[in-house]
Structure 1
């Protein structure tokens, strides 16, 4: 089949770029999408003025395929894709066996426009100017692979294999062309894995209480269970924008009589539907959680049965070491060495597994050791957070704190969070505190008591294959620590030079804080930057070699339950051949593996055989997961995902909810010092920068937040014509009070700035934004701003336990932009 012959704005040979999207009238878009909620190209080439006359397919026919939309918005929705004359002309929703999961959003419905993006990377390209200058020359695949392999071998000879660093993320959350193959490739090569450190803060805290799964945090009840809740709290979760596909489950719950409480500094669409809206001070949600727990304990509203039988509350803690007293301390050799409790029925200290009535309170001693229950220690900590203090920290009235606590103490309460609270350095403690609150009330591990971010992590993969039979991923470095490693050449105190970076499924420069540090201090010290991607984005523009990869509809894939908001493994059809010279990520890695001399180890088997090896786990075998079976059926439901921790059985060593964390650990080990004693129980920690008591607030009084946008997924969909009609340029939202004080009117271009940098965006005034806050929806690329980029103002603050991008730890100011 012949490919379309584009007449694009970007030159085939030089790659000169443009920041403007092709034009499509609103009337044309509405007319094209009216029928059945489907996006249609009709005459694909002519509608956007992007393509010349389409070449006829081998046979003029119309066919449909079932594909999966695979960004990390967590929807993994099925799309019915129509192909006519070799072009994708329509995207619409396809069906799951359970119709509740049938959905498609504005982004998914316009996915076909991403295929025919005029800024798409067509061929292997080599930088022809300075990094970031966006000047390119076309090269062959052979030249590209040879250039990369030659340079990599040279770097290995001079610095060692760890000098090759690989950064991948969630641009394509799949099995064949995402983290499994790049992880195996990195390990076989002896390279360094770079952890992307994004949106993991809260889960690290909750995972230490309830037990971590393969991805370091618990999954949640299925969203279909929300309707069984009497009350739902939404914490920093702008569901109608960031998780459009899950909103209808919340709407169903509201229609059924569920009460909704929204805690957010922004008056979101969900807040407009809530029974109670709490406009909290940014970064202070942790204090509100601790205050509610204080009220519940002071008023005796805790769930004693759950605390005694399902939590660590009765465990005796050695006050000298901070560790649980265990059976071995009693001279007993029992499997798992269970913690010890005081059994009221027997009047003595015994292993919890042998106790009939564990005591929740009371100081004890054993062999001269001072012992207290975890519950007594928690009560002492919570005594520090009366409603009056919480009001000072949060701006939430003390009587409101009490009312919210009473709601939390009720039956069938769900606590759902987004990623907003994880964007502060106290995000991990917030997760710890929220999990503790659910443990105090017993609202966890049963229907109607959802907790956390609503996703499933349902299928483990075969680690032996994934890690190439290595014990661990060698040399994992957090992105947030990379600047220090680059500057010092040291990691864990050892020589550890990094001289090459490889990016795949990861627009790191757009999605990582401290953009200027990465751009100006890290990248200049890198000898070779290689990026595999679909379109020219921020990271591509600072690369040396660029390799084109396919769109979701252009390759066959298997999609696993990695943070999915439904319970299905899926097969995704290949609807059309990849345009131009695009090759799949794994095909590229195979070429590089051959050139580096590890091809016979990397993937000598077929893609199908590789997937079968990945599925070779107890759960995979139980579900009948094989490539052939999944391709035949399209979807396979994974059982046991309806209720998280069903029966209130947790993934901790004790099987109980351990709100007292005996051995606090960091999500990444980069040689940091940890204040373990401070981390056993949740305690108030103020934000690192975004706090009114910070002296910097006198110079930069506004907190900048960069929420996820309706029209983009992180850095994807940033140049889709239909979406640009509705959201044409970078915007920033400001409360009218803050605008008036600075002489800013609605629609003005403004510059948001601090000592780190700045960016220009069009200002929208909104009473829904709390005074003192600047809200700039994320996902725009630098070249789409009139100047700068929103990640220029963000800083490198992070907590040593969570090691997570603190996107909202940003103080800045704003002024009217007078330049042309």
Structure 2
């Protein structure tokens, strides 16, 4: 931890009110108040004049629900549920029902605003400027900064605030043409890294891009048991709860593994509380029991995993025929990815103790050793068994705080499959989050619990490739950017050192879109105290005055989802979804696409942005890949949905790794990894010892939130966040209707812990560590595990009476995962002595 003093937001509540005063305009002109009253009084006439458009709600809660957007006299009056082709995905939640209040929120940004010269960032002092003035200044700053520091000094930072083809495609095109740097997201990447490390990344014309793979949620009903790992489906993924409940009603048992007695835990057949950050240990213990009982699926291990592969002790690589002195043979085929010749160099295995090539018809051994010219080799399965002995079962029981009887009960359940393991994003939000996921998949591979109905481990989220489906060069017309690719969690290190892996890195301008990093990334202080002060210019494009916008130099008011035509191309619906433009953007708001199109000529790039938004979308959704789906842009526009994954959610759900086929280098499940690489390049590099350990399942304690950490005596609480029903990350933070239900930041605490600290129920407290602090109202809850604190995520700094939640978290990261570790946080709590404003 650093030794920074506990900060409070520079943008005070009073400053925010000044900002809001600038933002609030003639609400009556487009507001919902008088209009809704008039509509309610004249409903029959309104219905006759009503127009209904298809919208897609896309804050990345995974739902991407289709909504009917009801428009009267050019204004959105309400939103209702619209049908998917698969009825099981036709949903709407309270957020989806409150879009009218988001669109006409009095706090919505209405026109471009520039920070008043001479005032501090975050002070809330703004002046209104025209679009021409704003874009001319931005163009001038880009040219000035690139001229002074090099092209890579300008960087774009984004996240998942608007998962869609048009926005992503336009920004990607501009970034590439500028040779600017990209600041990539590091959000929920622990499970992504863990899945892809052992099971591969699924990509294909009929598959899209499976960021987080797993059987489709509608397949859960085909399991004997659903096990959720840190997934509070009832709240964080409301749209999926009915699928879990329907499976229960059909006789499927539900087991919930979570440190907290969550809403879904109250619905479970069995709740297993676990020490935060210890999920990997539990899975390793379960595998020990599987092996003790000889319950492993030997045939699956032989045919679909690297279990029979011989691993050379000398370099950790698999033994191949070329190691025996026989040169690889050119097959005459070319690898479509590398464009290199495909060479035939089969793996060598033992069969009946004899060294043979692994070919069809060979029945390999999965245990044994062999020495070739003095090089000792062992079966990968033997190495797996050895790695699982890192801790005894008694130690695992003690470290996870789960009784052995319960661990054995859970072992009975996982052995008696099929089991649908539903992983949430809690367990992966620690420094050891990658191993949590890869070890869970290895447990399933050991039992043959993959690649068939009801048998799954994953989170299930995909990304369609619409951004460049029609023309791979659309997002990079002159080739990829020569700028840097920096992980957002690594940006502080790069800014402080001016170096990125030996390359000078002088980032001096940030353009932030579809993101609110000061709020939704770890360590707000890293942004406010280090990153932002190092920038000569910061632009934020958003519809609201977010924490990030408040620390910018220029704020651009963007169109919301129903104010532009767009293709949404992500989520668990596994479809390209067409979003119709229902209304014109109010005030002076513009779409991101229009902003870039108008900026381009000022940068001398006008010739690259001559298409209209409609033409650009059609260009992106055309060509061989959409044709492989039996669709084109006209089809998508008419039907509103084109599925990019095999199967049908209701009649033939997608099965990940069907038939035991894995998109890895070997085509098999790789619980042992020959080549260990970080998810992305970063300044913190793994040591040789870490690389060796990463080849196999193993447990590393959380970086901070672990009782053996000396800091535990100073900061005795693990600070955990939850994904509430009333926001998705920081979106919907100001929606009036939802704030009536959920008015202010809270922190949930076990009453016994609270009373020891002299904290009363419903009183204000300060959670703090040596990075920062946050003030919130304490809520007594027996559901909270002693020694932990839980807060709903997404409150803006201005909504706290002091500080903010992300001030307490750290930008330290695992060198393989390179992820924001939201849960890997220690803090203490005390009554707040501040005065209410």
Q: TM-score with structure 1 length normalisation?
A: 0.92
> Which of residues 269, 283, 294 in structure 1 aligns to 2:263?
269
Equivalent in the alignment of 2:272: 278
Query: Which position in structure 2 is the counterpart of 1:75?
Result: 63
1:185 maps to 2:179: no
The CA deviation at 1:617 is: 6.0
Cα distance in 1 for residues equivalent to 2:288 and 2:35: 60
Distance in 2 (CA, whole Å) between partners of 1:285 and 1:468 is: 45
TM-superposed deviation, 1:813:
0.7
1:483 aligns with 2:483: no
Distance 1:183 1:10, change over 3 A: farther
Instruction: Report the CA distance shift for 1:766/1:293 in structure 2 as closer, same or farther (over 3 A).
Output: same
C-alpha change, 1:817 and 1:336, in structure 2 (3 Å) is farther
Give yes or no for contact 1:313–1:373 (8 Å, CA) kept in 2: yes
**1:693-718 deviation per Cα after TM superposition (whole angstroms, max 9, x unaligned):** 11001011000011211100001000
Greater CA drift, 474-483 or 671-680: 671-680
In structure 2, the partner of 1:417 is 423
**Match status 1:407 vs 2:407:** no
Where 1:503 maps in the other structure, the secondary structure is strand
* Cα separation, 2, equivalents of 1:694 and 1:646: 42
1:389 aligns with 2:384: no
Q: Give the secondary-structure state (helix, strand or coil) at the position aligned to 1:706.
A: strand
Aligned to 1:646: 658
Q: Deviations over 1:638-659 (max 9, x none)?
A: 3415111221211012211111
Q: Is the 8 A contact 2:682 2:818 kept in 1?
A: no
Structure 1 segment 564-579 matched on structure 2, within 5 A: 564-579=571-586
- 1:800 lines up with 2:800 in the alignment: no
1:587 match: secondary structure = helix
Residue in 2 aligned with 1:668? Answer: 680
Partner in structure 1 of residue 524 of structure 2: 515
The residue number in structure 2 matching 1:211 is 200
Query: By how many angstroms is 1:493 displaced?
Result: 1.4
Q: What TM-score, normalized by structure 2, do the two folds share?
A: 0.90
Give the aligned partner of residue 26 of structure 1: none
Structure 1 unmatched runs, 5+: 1-8, 24-41
Which residue of 2 is the match for residue 33 of structure 1? Answer: none
- Secondary structure, counterpart of 1:591 in structure 2: helix
Number of residues of Structure 1 aligned to a counterpart in Structure 2: 786
* Post-superposition CA distance 1:273-323 (Å, at most 9, x none): 111111111111111111111111122111101000011110110111011
Shift of residue 452, structure 1, vs aligned partner = 0.7
Matched-pair contact (CA < 8 Å) for 1:227–1:256: yes
How far did 1:672 drift? 3.8
Distance 1:765 1:153 in 2: 55
Find the partner of 2:620 among 611, 614, 633: 614
Deviation at 1:616, TM superposition (A): 4.7
Counterpart for residue 335 of structure 2: none
Alignment partners' CA distance in 1, 2:525 and 2:605: 36
Q: Report the equivalent of 2:112.
A: 124
Q: Deviations over 1:358-387 (max 9, x none)?
A: 110001122221100110000011123332
Equivalence map 1:522-541=2 (5 Å)? 522-541=531-550
Q: What is the rounded CA distance, in whole Å, between the counterparts of 2:92 and 2:47 in structure 1? A: 30
Partner of 2:5: none
* d(CA) in 2 for partners of 1:450, 1:670: 32
SS, match of residue 353 in structure 1:
coil
Q: Is the 8 A contact 1:67 1:79 kept in 2?
A: yes
**1:427-484: per-residue Cα shift (whole Å, max 9, x none)?**
0111111111111011111111132113234546444323335256741001111112
Give the C-alpha shift of residue 485 in structure 1.
1.3
Q: Measured at CA, do residues 60 and 549 of structure 1 come closer, stay the same or move farther in structure 2, by a change above 3 Å?
A: farther
Instruction: Name which of 687, 690, 701 aligns with 1:686.
Output: 701
Asked whether the equivalents of residues 608 and 627 of structure 1 are also in contact (C-alpha less than 8 Å), the reply is no
The residue number in structure 1 matching 2:9 is: none
Deviation at 1:240, TM superposition (A): 1.0
Describe how 1:337-416 pairs up with structure 2 within 5 A.
337=344, 340-344=347-351, 348-354=354-360, 356-416=362-422
Partner Cα distance (1:43, 1:270) in 2: 38
Greater CA deviation, 755-764 or 404-413? Answer: 404-413
Instruction: Please state whether the residue corresponding to 1:717 is helix, strand or coil.
Output: coil
CA gap of 1:599–1:329, structure 2 versus 1, over 3 A, is farther
From 426, 439, 443, the equivalent of 1:437 is 443
In 2: Cα distance, 1:664 partner to 1:396 partner: 32
Q: SS in structure 2 opposite 1:350?
A: strand
Q: Larger RCO: Structure 1 or Structure 2 (Cα < 8 Å, ≥ 6 residues apart)?
A: 2
1: CA distance between counterparts of 2:539 and 2:76? 29
Structure-2 change in CA distance of 1:342 and 1:450 (3 Å): closer
* Structure 2 SS opposite 1:558: strand
Give a deviation string over 1:232-264, Cα, whole Å, max 9, x none.
110011111110011111111111111111111
Do the aligned partners of residues 144 and 18 (structure 1) sit closer, same or farther apart at CA in structure 2, a change above 3 Å counting?
closer
SS at 2:774's partner residue?
Answer: strand
Between the aligned partners of 1:384 and 1:467, the Cα distance in structure 2 is 47
User: 2:156, 2:175 within 8 Å by CA — same for their partners in 1?
Assistant: yes
Corresponding residue for residue 597 of structure 1: 604
Measure, in 2, the Cα distance between the counterparts of 1:643 and 1:464.
32
Distance of 1:647 and 1:692 partners within structure 2: 42
* Partner-residue secondary structure (3-state), 2:187: coil
Distance in 1, matches of 2:72 and 2:616, equals 32
Distance in 2, matches of 1:305 and 1:466, equals 45
The answer as to 2:724 corresponding to 1:724 is no
Contact 2:557 2:588 in 1 (8 A): yes
1:302-313 alignment, distance < 5 Å: 302-313=296-307
RMSD of the alignment, in Å?
A: 2.8
Name 1:150's counterpart in structure 2. Answer: 140
Indicate conservation of the 8 Å contact 2:210/2:463, yes or no: no
Match status 1:314 vs 2:308: yes
Q: Deviations over 1:391-449 (max 9, x none)?
A: 12110112211221221122211111111111100001111111111110111111111
Q: Which deviates more, 479-488 or 263-272?
A: 479-488
Contact 2:191/2:212 (CA < 8 Å) preserved in 1?
A: no
Q: What residue number does 1:753 align with?
A: 768
Runs (5+) with no aligned partner, structure 2:
1-12, 204-208, 330-341, 648-653
User: Displacement, 1:624?
Assistant: 3.4
Distance 1:261 1:341, change over 3 A: farther
Aligned to 2:784: 769
